[in-house]
Amino acid sequence: MYETYNGGRCPKVHRRDMKAVFLDRDGVINIDSGYVYHRNDFVFLDGIFDLLKLLKSLSFTIFIVTNQSGIARGYYKESDFLHLMEWVKDEFHKDSIDIKDISFCPHHPEITGECLCRKPKAGMLIQLAKKYNINMQISIMIGDKNSDIQACQNARLAKCYKVKSSIYDIIHQIKNDYKEEI
Ligand SMILES: [Mg+2]
Ligand SMILES: [Zn+2]
C-alpha cells in the first residue's frame, strides 16, 4: 500500500469512487436520424432532460460515449461534431445539467482499421474510468443498440439500460431500481 516517492507532497491514494452514467448519444439524447452533425437536425428525445435530472439527483456523474463513424466516412468533420456537442452541453447547462465529459470514436473498421474505442468495445468507458476514477461496479449505461449493451457488459458496469420505445420507460426503471435512494 505504501508507494515510494521522492519527497515532496505525499501522493494521494487513488480512490475509485465516482458513480457514473455513460450515455450513448444518437437514439438516447437525440432522435437518431442518421449522422447528425448540425444543431438544426438535432432533436432532443422526449424525457431526456427529466432523465438527466433524475440521474443527477441520484449522484451520477454524466458522460457521453458515442460512435461517430460519420467522421471516418467523411460525412462531417471532427470539428463539426465538437461544435455541435458544445451546443448540446450548453442546452443541458441551461437546465443545470452538467455533462462531465464526452468521448467519441471517429473510426470505422473498414475505413480507418480496427480501434479500441468503437462500441461494442469498452475502450471509451475504460479510458474515462481511468481519467476520473470511476467505480464501474456502481456505474451504469444507457444505450439504444446491442453494441451499447455489449460495451456496458464488457466494462462490467452495474446496470445496462436499453431504450426501446421511450426515455420515460428508462426513467421508470431507474426510479424502481434506485427507489431506496430517491
Ligand atoms: Mg445509439
Ligand atoms: Zn475508435
Complete domains list, the chain, with CATH: 20-181 (3.40.50.1000)
Give the model confidence (pLDDT) of 110-120 as tens digits: 999 999 999 99
Ligand 1 centre to CA of 163 (Å) is 9
Measured CA to CA, the distance from residue 106 to residue 70 in angstroms comes to 7
Position 119 scores a pLDDT of 98
Ligand 1 centre to CA of 67 (Å) is 8
Cross-strand pairs, 65: 103
Position 1 scores a pLDDT of 42
Position 182 scores a pLDDT of 86
Q: Is the pTM of the predicted complex or chain greater than 0.85?
A: yes
Position 7 scores a pLDDT of 73
CB-based contacts of 161-167 (< 8 A; 24+ apart in sequence): 163/27, 163/28, 166/46, 166/47, 167/28, 167/45, 167/46, 167/47, 167/48, 167/50, 167/51
Closest ligand to the CA of 142:
1
Position 57 scores a pLDDT of 98
Any residues with CB less than 8 A from the CB of 115 and at least 6 apart, and which? 105, 107, 109, 121, 123
Whether residue 24 lies in the annotated active site: yes
Residue among 26, 41, 90, 101 flagged as catalytic: 26
CA count, 13 A, side-chain hemisphere, 140: 17
Ligand 2 centre to CA of 150 (Å) is 15
Ligand 1 centre to CA of 147 (Å) is 9
Measured CA to CA, the distance from residue 173 to residue 95 in angstroms comes to 23
Instruction: Spell out, as residue ranges, where the chain has pLDDT lower than 70.
Output: 1-6, 10-16
Position 4 scores a pLDDT of 58
